[in-house]
Structure 1
């Protein structure tokens, strides 16, 4: 059986991307396709013009949605959806909206090590650090700490993030997404079948089973 290629187009600032990740993980377990799947995390910056230091979240969201009350209403919807998916959102702890470029570069660093389970654990951990714990995932020190918590060498990680490595690939990924007509995240491609949005686990499981059948044939 050939390996099923899965591409996850994401941004760490997107709560639905975390929910989508949890639903995909549930689908992998349900379908039994885990061992035959190779997942690649593809960066998609939603706020490429965000200042490097990020912004006060309340100010940013008020400007984006017209009022803080509107933002809180959207946060409540996400929190409810997250509970069903096993993702805990503690928006009272989230004080800043970060620039996610460094976090994307950290994922590139992780994936280059060819340790998929370690990379997958780090991917989940970055979301949890931001949405559950309120940590600043735009901070180099924070990202190095998260990486070290998941068995990456802190010194090597810091050196990589202080360099320019990975930046060009992030920009190239966005250009490729535009070429393929991917304009929002999460977008998950399972053996070429493109699924937009944080769909329920059943949707991902169906696509995984179909891909498994095609691969076996």
Structure 2
């Protein structure tokens, strides 16, 4: 019996990025087609789209209008399109009028903390679902609940947030990506060799994965 190919997949992402959700969903779909041939170790890396966002957040439509010049009509069309693309990969986007863009620095501290737990991937998925599917925000109490939900230690997580234990590591990692010329996410890197930017199609991911078969 042939052994499976071992692949490390680094994903540079923010938990409030809809295209990160879609890109990850397409990657998962591609990996599912190789489940008998490839073992993938997925590692998430921080990239805050809005590092200076206040804790209270800002109305999402207003934020996109000020940052990108998005009109109301454009916002409605974009949300409808993202919702449809989400459905194709089994993800529910539940956009609503009062939805806010949030500060995600604490989320990334917790993801960094969870990196070696075997549950980092589940935590990232839970953050996506909490924000986009369940109309959640990222208050500390909500974050601790999500940590517990995936089976991580809530007391340790409380300490991480209270002490800002990984805040500096998150900032340094983000600076590393900026210095490499990364200005948008998702960025998905295979075995430290090949990088795909943006939410690529499933077939594109499959072509890359095929190169790693023994």
TM-score with structure 2 setting the length: 0.89
- Give 1:33 shift: 6.5
- Give 1:203 shift: 1.2
- Write the distance in 1 (CA, Å) between the matches of 2:212 and 2:179: 24
- Give 1:19 shift: 0.8
Q: Is the 8 A contact 1:17 1:198 kept in 2?
A: yes
Alignment counterpart, residue 87 of structure 2, candidates 83, 87, 100: 83
Specify the alignment match of 1:55 in structure 2.
Answer: 58
Q: Indicate how the Cα distance of structure 1 residues 140 and 34 shifts in structure 2: closer, same or farther if over 3 A, else same.
A: farther
Establish whether residue 126 from structure 1 lines up as the match of residue 127 from structure 2.
yes
Specify the alignment match of 1:142 in structure 2.
Answer: 142
Specify the alignment match of 1:95 in structure 2.
Answer: 99
Instruction: Extract structure 1 runs of 4+ deviating beyond 6 A.
Output: none
Question: Which is richer in helix?
Answer: 1
Alignment of 1:155-170 (within 5 A): 155-170=155-170
Q: Indicate how the Cα distance of structure 1 residues 36 and 101 shifts in structure 2: closer, same or farther if over 3 A, else same.
A: same
Establish whether residue 199 from structure 1 lines up as the match of residue 203 from structure 2.
no
Q: Which runs of 5+ in 1 are unaligned?
A: none
Specify the alignment match of 1:67 in structure 2.
Answer: 71
- Write the distance in 1 (CA, Å) between the matches of 2:212 and 2:10: 13
Q: Is the 8 A contact 2:127 2:146 kept in 1?
A: yes
Q: Is the 8 A contact 2:109 2:161 kept in 1?
A: yes
Q: Is the 8 A contact 2:126 2:146 kept in 1?
A: yes
Specify the alignment match of 1:15 in structure 2.
Answer: 18
- Give 1:68 shift: 2.7
- Give 1:207 shift: 1.0
Q: Which moved more, 1:76-85 or 1:93-102?
A: 93-102
Q: Is the 8 A contact 2:38 2:213 kept in 1?
A: no
- Write the distance in 2 (CA, Å) between the matches of 1:204 and 1:85: 14
Establish whether residue 38 from structure 1 lines up as the match of residue 56 from structure 2.
no
- Give 1:170 shift: 1.4
- Give 1:63 shift: 2.8
Q: Which runs of 5+ in 2 are unaligned?
A: none
Number of matched pairs: 209
User: Deviation string for 1:72-101 (max 9, x for gaps)?
Assistant: 221111111111111110102762211011
